[in-house]
Structures are given as structure tokens and as C-alpha cells.
Chain A
Amino acid sequence: MDDLTFDLNQTPLRQVNQFLHDNLQQYAGQPVRIFHPNGAHNIAVGVNAPIEIDIFGHTGYYTAGMNQLANITIHGNAGPGVAENMMSGRVHVKGFASVSAGASAHGGLLIIDGDASLRCGISLKGADIVVGGNVGSFSAFMAQAGRMVICGNTGDALGDSLYEAVIYVRGTIKSLGADAQVEPMADQDYEAVNELLTKADFTFDPNEFQRIASAKQLYHWNADANQEY
């Protein structure tokens, strides 16, 4: 196939994903373009090749789920679980993202230009997430590793039950979750924020961000924590 353009009005999603799984190594460097997603679920799931994929329109659940190596851009809004369990590569949502963006992602970079809904970065396992707008409640719940940069405001219970993941927030934090605390920014934090903002092409000043990390009170069984377990 020479033309790497797919129209989901014409081609079934199964056929597109099969192509993305089977043939990409030989097309590395050539962009794949997907038109008319019309909110379809599971577009570009399980891609494992260093290739550019552009999706023009709004997508449904799990776009770019479990991505490895690919650079996937959604020119629209993304549904729930965008880039869930991503291992590497880059996923860029030009619009807004629904719930559970980047859930349990192990590696790679997720950029969301607009707002992300509830539970952004839930169970994060090592990926980086940059959100240009606000995030909803319970974002970074039980996040174990990785970094989140939130340029807007957050909902309730940010960073509940965090482990080693670190969150940087520019706007207001509605409330912190159990065991999360605001900490002073160190040089490496400014560098990390700067690095991630640059990768995401945002021009905010790293000095405007504050760092949220685990207070580590739940790292070892704590009888007095009661409801926090």
C-alpha cells in the first residue's frame, strides 16, 4: 500500500489497526493519516513502531492505547482512556481529553492541549503527562511513577495515595488527596517542568508551578491512617 491515508467512513477500523500492526516497520518515516474517526473506539491501539499517525477529528475510548514508539496526534478531542497503558512514544491530543487519560501509562509522553477530565494519570506507572488546561478530581490517584505537569487548575483529591510520581501544578488545587503534600521546588523540578513544557510546546514559566509529591505516610502499614487505606 503506497497511500497511507485511511478514511474510517470507508475502511473498517479492524482493517486499519491490522495494517498498523503488520506493516509499519517498512513505512517508518511516512505519516499515516486517519480521517473521519467520528468518535470510534480503539483507534491505533497497540501500535509498536516509530511512525507518525495523525487522526483528524474526535475519537472514542482508548485511542492509542498501549502505544509503543509511535507519535500519534489527535486533531480533535479524545474519549476516555486515551493512551492508557502507553509504554513509549508520544500521544498528543490537540483538543480536550475525557476521563482516565494516560491511565496506568508506563512510559512515553502524553500531551493534552485542552482540559483533561476526571482521573487523569490514574495509576500512572512512569509516563509523563502534560495538560495545558485543567484536570478533574482524583487525578494521579495511586500514581506510582512518572511526572504530570498541569498548567491549569485541579479538581478534588489530587494525588491521592501517590507513590513516587510527582505532579507539578500551575493553577489552583481544589484539594489534595490522602498522603499528598505540596513540597518546595528544587532545581531539578524547575528543569523537569521546563523540559516537559518545551516538549509540549507550552510557554508557561516554570517558576509558576508548585510540586506535589507523596508524604510517604502510607508507605508502610499505618494503623492510624484508618479510612486512608
Chain B
Amino acid sequence: MNDSLHRLFFLEESAGYNRHILNYIQNAAAHGLYEIRGLGAKRRLPHFDDLVFLGASLSRYPLEGYREKCVTKTTLGTRYASKPIELEMPITIAGMSFGSLSANVKEALGRAATQVGTSTTTGDGGMTPEERRSSKTLIYQCLPSRYGFNPDDVRRADAIEIVIGQGAKPGGGGMLLGQKVNPRVAAMRTLPEGVDQRSACRHPDWTGPDDLTIKIQELRELTDWQKPIYVKIGASRPFNDVKLAVHAGADVVVVDGMQGGTAATQSVFIEHVGIPTLAAVRQAVDALEDMNMKGKVQLIVSGGIRTGADVAKALAIGADAVSIGQAILMSLGCNSDTYIQNGAHHSAVDDYHALGTAPGYCHHCHTGKCPVGVTTQDEQLEKRLEPDVGARRVKNYLQTLNMELTTIARACGKQNVHHLEREDLVALTIEAAAMARVPLAGTNWIPGYTTAIHL
């Protein structure tokens, strides 16, 4: 090895100041700006992947995959509402705004949800007629920004979700950059076209959990106590927050972990605020159990749910359903190198490059220039995601998740996916064992707990 090669071979970057952090510091120094971006946390966090199921063998009896059916029906909002939500699967589509997403995408989501018998959810921009028409079960979000909040739409919805915060940014507001505020979005949000939309981080007309109690009653009065009221919190202190939401009268609590996505927020929020979904689920379930409200108030978990295994694990820890946003976008083609238009595949690689990124690395939703037509209001780009194609892909994806979920449930001997339980799980890492409070695989050790568990 010659001298210069030898030197190169032994070059070592600083762990504390690696190229990533150097790049960050030098960008901040050059521009005086923090990074705003879309999608969720990029770094590795303890996740459902760190758990595995104990399939049945001798001590448990599995169900036959091809003959014995496994129930996936899910009912949400049984506490006070006269018309609870009935779903065919415990997998729902999370709130994503028209404005962030194109109208085609919103329509595709509604159609797919209807076809598989689940719900979809509005977002910050309010309800579009296309979305209402295409969705059998539509959850209407009441967000801090209240851009498009309209009592007629509330009455047309099937449930109301009061959004306190998002997993990607608990405690933070949002920023829809002006390039996405086209005439229709501007009209729906009462804004001039092309102006940045800064959104509030808390509701304008209430300040705490006692006020939330009355807010929930207001929405119940508006809808004559028919519609379930969900309360969505970004996971940071889920044990306390879930308790307060239940105390305030929520029918359903939605807990969104830090792997949850967003259309646009400060990168520092996405990576450094909130707790991972895995940790949040267990704390949320603890809160319900502590109040003896498990089963009376339903729990929906979101934030980085990607596979049927993730769904099964969330259910086993104690969720009643999951909600998916980011992975739904991926099923639509987010980060794919091609898009389908008029039945043919076209490469989007050059468009990714023009944004300074590449398929698989993109987080540029905030730019409004989505190369595959998912998060855009640009007329030409929007056409890259036809509602028919999008609906089929989302339907396929949701069906796959549901099949994977039932496959795991049957292997664990359950004829109903809601019978999955914590006993069915062990952890592969000490962190996951501590967070989910299940034993480390091959041991009866739950970090932080001294009592021996006998499996």
C-alpha cells in the first residue's frame, strides 16, 4: 500500500462531528436557516422490528391458515356515540391534508378505504367534496389551525378527531410553504395565493384538559351525540396525556409516535422531539388499564406503522387499531423511481435529481414538486397519480397488511386479531424489552422489573 492510500484507508471521521453534522453546521452558518422538510424521523429508533411473536407450538395451538378464519372487524367509539365506527379491519388511514396532498390522492384514499372497509381522515385543509363522495367512513379533523373547519362538514362526517398534536412534532405548529398554496388551497384556507401558511400549535379557543372536556361536549352537541370523538396526541407523555383525554370524554384516543410523518416541519422537531411509537403504545395502554377503561375507550396507534407485523404487534401490546399515513404515501409511489400515467411507467428520476435528491432518499414534500404526484398542487405533477391507480395500490397495500396480520394472529392461535396479547411477544433488544415491557427473547427478564415472569 503506497503512502497516500495508506493514509486514506485510516481516515476516520469524528463520531460527534461526522459528515452529516458537519453538513448541518455549515449549512446553518451559510444560510441562517433551519431545515424544513416532510416525512418522518430518518434515524434508527427502537421500533416494532425489535419485537418478535412467539408462534404457537406445543404450549399453544395454532389455527389453520387456509380454512380457519380470523376475525378482523373493529368497532371504534363505543363509549358515548350513538353511531360508532364499524370497520372491516383494524387499519385506518391517517389524516393528511388536502393542500399537502393533491385532490387526486385524497380521492384515491377515500376509494381505497371504502373498498377494504376502513376509514380515511381529512386534514388541515378541510373536507373536499371528492373525498366525502369517495369515502364511506370519513373522520373529520378539528385541528388547531381551523382552516377549513365547517359545521356542515362536521355533520357530514362519521367521526370527529380533535388533533392536539402530531408525533412528528408534539408541541409544534406547521408551515405549508407558499409554493403549495395554489388558488384552490388558498380559498379553502382563506389565504392569498402563494403565501406561506404558518399554523398554530394549539387550539385558539381552549388551553388545557378542562377546556377540552367542554370542547368535546360542544362537538357532541353539534352532532347530537351521534358521532364518536377521537382525540389525537403526539407521543411525548402518553401516560398522562391519554388519561387526560379519557377524563375529558374522548371516545377514542389516537397516539402518534415520533416516527409519524408530516408534510413540512423543522427537521430538528422530527428527529428530536417526542418518543418512539413502541414506547408510546405501552404507556398509552397502561393509562387505559390504570383507569379501567381498556375496551371502553379505544386506542389507535400511529407513527411508523408499515407492515402487517407492525399492526399485529401494536394490537398485541393493546391497541384497538392502527392508523397509517406515511406508508400509505409510499404505497402510492412516494420515493419510487417511476410513476404510472395512461397505463405506462415513466421514470421520475430526473425530477428527483432536480430537487437535489433521488428515489429512496426524498423528503421534499414541502416543496410541492413531488416527482410522483403525491404531495403536490402542481397541475402537471398531480396528473402523475391517477385516482384509479392510486386507489388500487392503496387497496392492495391495506389488504396485504390485513392478510399479514391474520397470518400472525392464526400462528399465535387467535381466531380474532383483537385477541393478540402481550404474552405473544418477546423483545430482541434490551431497549425494546424495556419500552414495550415484554421479556428479552429467551429470558424472563424485563428490564426495570425484578419479578420473574414464567412463560
Interface positions of A (Cβ within 8 A of B): 13-14, 17-18, 21, 41-42, 45-46, 48, 60-62, 65-66, 68, 80-81, 84-85, 87, 100, 103-104, 106, 119, 122-123, 125-126, 141-142, 144-145, 161, 163-164, 218-221, 223-224, 229
Interface of A is mostly: loop
- Are B214 and A45 closer than 8 Å at their CB atoms? no
Provide the B412-434 mask, 1 if CB < 8 A to any CB of A, else 0: 00000000000000000000000
- Are A221 and B32 closer than 8 Å at their CB atoms? no
B223: nearest residue on chain A (CB-CB)?
A46
Q: How many angstroms between the C-alpha atoms of A87 and B204 in the bound complex?
A: 16
Q: Which of B11-19, B67-75, B189-197 contacts A (4 or more CB under 8 A)?
A: B189-197
Q: How many angstroms between the C-alpha atoms of A144 and B181 in the bound complex?
A: 14
Within 8 A of A (CB), among B138-152: 145-147, 149-152
7 A-B pairs with least C-beta separation: A46-B222, A104-B146, A103-B205, A81-B205, A103-B204, A123-B204, A122-B204
Q: How many angstroms between the C-alpha atoms of A17 and B224 in the bound complex?
A: 8
Q: In angstroms, how far is the closest chain B Cβ from the Cβ of A103?
A: 4
The one of A80, A123, A221 that contacts B200, using a Cβ cutoff of 8 Å = A123
11 interchain pairs (CB within 8 A)?
A42-B214, A62-B205, A66-B151, A81-B205, A100-B206, A103-B204, A104-B205, A122-B205, A144-B191, A224-B32, A229-B175
Q: How many angstroms between the C-alpha atoms of A62 and B147 in the bound complex?
A: 18
* 13 extra A-B contacts, CB within 8 A, seeds A42-B221, A45-B221, A144-B190: A13-B221, A17-B221, A61-B215, A68-B152, A81-B205, A84-B204, A100-B206, A106-B149, A106-B190, A122-B205, A123-B145, A219-B178, A224-B32
Within 8 A of A (CB), among B304-327: none
Provide the B131-166 mask, 1 if CB < 8 A to any CB of A, else 0: 000000000000001110111101000000000000
Q: How many angstroms between the C-alpha atoms of A221 and B145 in the bound complex?
A: 19
B residues contacting the other copy or chain, number (CB 8 A): 35
CB neighbours of B33 from chain A (8 A): 221, 223
- Are B151 and A85 closer than 8 Å at their CB atoms? yes
- Are B150 and A14 closer than 8 Å at their CB atoms? no
The one of B154, B190, B198 that contacts A125, using a Cβ cutoff of 8 Å = B190
Q: In angstroms, how far is the closest chain B Cβ from the Cβ of A85?
A: 6
- Are A104 and B221 closer than 8 Å at their CB atoms? no
Residue of B146, B192, B204 contacting most chain A CB atoms (<10 Å): B204
Within 8 A of A (CB), among B210-244: 211, 214-215, 217-218, 221-225
- Are A229 and B206 closer than 8 Å at their CB atoms? no
Q: A21-B224, A45-B221, A125-B147 are in contact. Are A62 and B196 (CB under 8 A)?
A: no
